[in-house]
Amino acid sequence: RARGFLTRVYPRLAAWHRYLLHRRDLGGGGLASVVHPWEQGMDNSPAWDAPLARVTPAPARTFRRADLDHGSPEDRPTDLDYGRYVRLAADYRDGGYADGGGEFAVEDPAFNALLIASEQALARIARELGATGSARQARAERLTAALIERTWDPARGIFLCRDVRGGGLIPERCVSGLIPLLLPTLPRDIADRLVRTAHGPHFGLGGTTLLAPSYDLLGEAFDPHRYWRGPAWFNTGWLLERGLRVHGEHQRAGALRAALLELAVASDFAEYVDPYTGAACGATGFGWTAALTLDLLHDDTPPAGDAAVGEAGDIEEFKGVKGGDRG
């Protein structure tokens, strides 16, 4: 049954990748561009400020902000930000979803790192279905080379967003620039530098911060509570934990895993948290925080015959988890 599912879904996933790799290669360098901050997911990241400044905002009276039903206005994107999001979405819709005509087009390192990881996953699916998967693996390697060529900044020790319309790298250190750490074929020197950047003064992981902030602690736009301009998110923490393990940083990965588990419970599975204190921000009982907690616990399953970990009512056990206590 599982293989039958793969047979059905594989061509659809392959078609989605073709779209991203061809129609979304707006910069001509092989990477996919995002055309709206919402599709990348880090809505009001400071990396978007310069590209968004070219967008004329929709008038505030033309839309209602449902996001304010779930969080404080002080923690959310501004009305001006939202006006630009709405304008971009409306123009894209009214243009028949034709790519390449909008003012906002950015090559984001996290978006492309996840695309590369997905190419590697498609290669594994292809092998499961009896094909070689070699073409997809080769494509993943070419994309990794393009990611390094177009977005790696050795002076800052991080991957940066590239403004396709503005024609250059955006000099803002954001957590998206750390996400390529999850790629197993990343050159060793770049992986080592990313680990140092994550644990250094700009992100403070394992030192001044409990989880990696979404934006540079030393950046002018840093705010520990305002959405993607400083708070720490569980999904990016989960990706970084995987990346650390991929590159052999097991002790650091274990410490991050323990922090993610502890803060998920302590914050009532918050949407995001203050990176310094772990105080809950945004919504609580958030779905992906709970889902990623279950995924982290999955690797902690004890041998058969021992008490099951993570079953209903057992989460209290993890309130006091510290690095090294488990596996």
> What domain range is 101 assigned to?
1-199
User: If pLDDT is split at 50, 70 and 90, which confidence band does 64 have?
Assistant: confident
Same domain? 7 vs 156: yes
Distance CA 210, CA 194 (A): 18
Is residue 11, in this structure, part of any structural domain at all? yes
Distance CA 77, CA 67 (A): 9
Q: Is residue 304 predicted with pLDDT exceeding 80?
A: no
Distance CA 48, CA 223 (A): 15
Other CB atoms within a 10 A radius of the CB of residue 124 amount to 13
Per residue in 275-295, pLDDT (tens digit) is 999 999 988 999 999 999 999
Q: Is residue 48 predicted with pLDDT exceeding 70?
A: yes
Q: What's the pLDDT at 325? A: 34
Residue 8, domain CATH? 1.50.10.10
Q: What's the pLDDT at 61? A: 84
Q: What's the pLDDT at 70? A: 73
Q: Is residue 308 predicted with pLDDT exceeding 80?
A: no
Is residue 319, in this structure, part of any structural domain at all? no
Same domain? 171 vs 275: no
Q: Which of 107, 241, 271, 274 is catalytic?
A: 271
Same domain? 124 vs 223: no
Residue whose entry in the numeric block shows the structure tokens 């790298």: 169
**Domain end: 145, 180, 199, which one?**
199
Please state the domain count of the chain: 2
Same domain? 138 vs 276: no
Q: Which of 43, 75, 119, 163 is catalytic?
A: 43
Distance CA 115, CA 182 (A): 11
**Domain end: 146, 168, 199, which one?**
199
| pTM (2 d.p.) | 0.88
Average pLDDT, the chain: 89
Q: Is residue 66 predicted with pLDDT exceeding 50?
A: yes
Same domain? 60 vs 158: yes
User: If pLDDT is split at 50, 70 and 90, which confidence band does 300 have?
Assistant: low
Q: Which of 210, 218, 175 is nearest to 40 (CA)?
A: 175
Same domain? 227 vs 146: no
Same domain? 191 vs 252: no
Is residue 313, in this structure, part of any structural domain at all? no
Q: What is the DSSP string of 59-107?
A: PGGG---GGGGSS-GGGS--HHHHHHHHHHHHHHHHTTT-TT-SS--EE
List phi, psi (to 5°) of 209. Answer: -120, 150
Q: Which residues pair with 107 in a beta bridge?
A: 162
Same domain? 92 vs 220: no
Q: Is residue 5 predicted with pLDDT exceeding 90?
A: yes
Same domain? 89 vs 191: yes
Active site residue 69: no
Same domain? 142 vs 276: no
Is residue 325, in this structure, part of any structural domain at all? no
Active site residue 103: no
Same domain? 190 vs 285: no
Same domain? 67 vs 131: yes
Is residue 151, in this structure, part of any structural domain at all? yes
Is residue 234, in this structure, part of any structural domain at all? yes
Mean pLDDT of 196-209: 97
Mean pLDDT of 215-229: 96
Is residue 237, in this structure, part of any structural domain at all? yes
Between CA 276 and CA 145, with CA 230 as vertex, the angle to 5 degrees is: 115
Per residue in 90-125, pLDDT (tens digit) is 999 999 999 988 899 999 999 999 999 999 999 999
Mean pLDDT of 86-92: 93
Distance CA 293, CA 184 (A): 23
Per residue in 311-322, pLDDT (tens digit) is 333 444 444 443
**Domain end: 134, 169, 199, which one?**
199
Distance CA 235, CA 178 (A): 13
